[in-house]
Amino acid sequence: MTKEPIAIIVIEILTKSDCSLCDDMKEIVNRVLTDYPVKLVMTDIESDETLYKKFKERIPVLKINGIESFIYKTNETTLRHKLDKVR
């Protein structure tokens, strides 16, 4: 019997410098990372003019597999529930 490979979940955080909400979101994600097969991608919106124009007033944004899942704040329990559904 062959095992199915574990699918990697991609979590992307859209962030920028000097953003306390971004720091809070990163802290929560880092607590959860060890329990899931996750690849974390940090995207600095200030390095891309298009992203900056789109998200400058709406960060941080957390995407799970490309889908916006949290804006401004995240909750550890809710994040775990969403990751369980993706698993």
Count of domains forming the chain: 1
Helix/strand/coil percent split, the chain, to 5? 40, 25, 35
In a domain, 61, yes or no: yes
In a domain, 4, yes or no: no
The pTM assigned to this predicted structure is 0.90
Which CATH number covers residue 35? Answer: 3.40.30.10
pLDDT 10s digits, 6-26: 789 999 999 999 999 999 999
Q: Which domain holds residue 76?
A: 9-86
In a domain, 63, yes or no: yes
Q: Tell me what the pLDDT averaged over the chain comes to.
A: 94
Distance CA 30, CA 40 (A): 9
